[in-house]
Amino acid sequence: MLFGSKSEFAIEAMIEPGLVPPSAVYGRMQVWCANTSIGDFSNPRCSLYPAYLGFKQLVAALPDLWRSDLDNLNDEQLIDRLDRLLYGAQGDQLLEDDVRTAFECERDWEKYGVFNFLTNWGEQFDREGKAFIFCPPAQAAKILILRRGSDTILPLHAAVPAAAAAIDKFLRWFDESAALLANPNSI
């Protein structure tokens, strides 16, 4: 199933063939933005639930996915800031982080975790590296991807209404699929 448009923003997902109810929703998934795919659609039997939770949180945050302390930061500065605050890293390198307490790390995740996009959302995204999403005021959604083993940032943009519509369709499909797979008499 394709929810949205690959040229703008889309979520492509399928239930793994042969699942027998009762079962969780396992399948394949990738995200499309500006005709660029993110995720490994060939990876079978991925749990789609982590992505479902991520998209559910994300759609609630759109279109106000911004903080004033991010104003005037360029793409590299945005990635560096979020990578340091959320993962204690800069790209593939872990940083010394003996200054923040566990409480401060948790506080930073509460403040900035909403910008996390696809990272740790399921096996299908594990090889992508790190991605973050932002919606600066009166602008399109911006997805910044720092691919694993690369210093190059891939910036992608999508209209917020297109992204929200695709996410809403995916969430409804997931809910329907989960209900179908939960019932042993459904298939």
Ordered DSSP codes for 112-181: HGGGB-STTS-GGGTTS-EEEEE--TTS-EEEEEE-TT---EEEEEE-HHHHHHHHHHHHHHHHHHHHHH
* Rounded Cα distance, 178 and 50, in Å: 13
77: in domain: yes
> In the numeric block, which tokens belong to residue 102?
């566990």
Is residue 173 predicted with pLDDT exceeding 90? Answer: yes
Q: Give the C-alpha separation, 51 to 31, whole Å.
A: 10
**Averaged pLDDT for residues 22-41:** 97
pLDDT at 87 exceeding the cut of 70: yes
Closest CA to 115 of 101, 95, 136: 136
Instruction: For 46-57, give the DSSP string.
Output: EE-HHHHHHHHH
**Rounded distance, CA 44 to CA 53, Å?**
20
Judged against a pLDDT cut of 70, whether residue 91 lies above it is answered with no
Kindly state whether residue 50 falls inside one of the protein's structural domains: yes
Please tell me the total count of domains within the chain.
1
Report if residue 151 sits inside a domain.
yes
pLDDT at 47 over 70: yes
Q: Are 85 and 112 in contact (CB under 8 A)?
A: yes
CA distance 33 to 121: 17
Q: Is residue 187 assigned to a domain?
A: no
Q: Is the pLDDT at 89 greater than 90, yes or no?
A: no
How many CA within 13 A on the CB side of residue 135?
19
Residue 123 lies in a domain: yes
Output the pTM of the full model: 0.92
H/E segment holding residue 90:
strand 89-90
H or E element in which residue 94 lies: strand 93-94
Domain hosting residue 153, numbered range = 2-182
CA neighbor of 9 nearest in space, from 125, 177, 112, 161: 161
In a domain, 112, yes or no: yes
Q: Is residue 66 part of a domain?
A: yes
Structural tokens at position 158: 């999508």
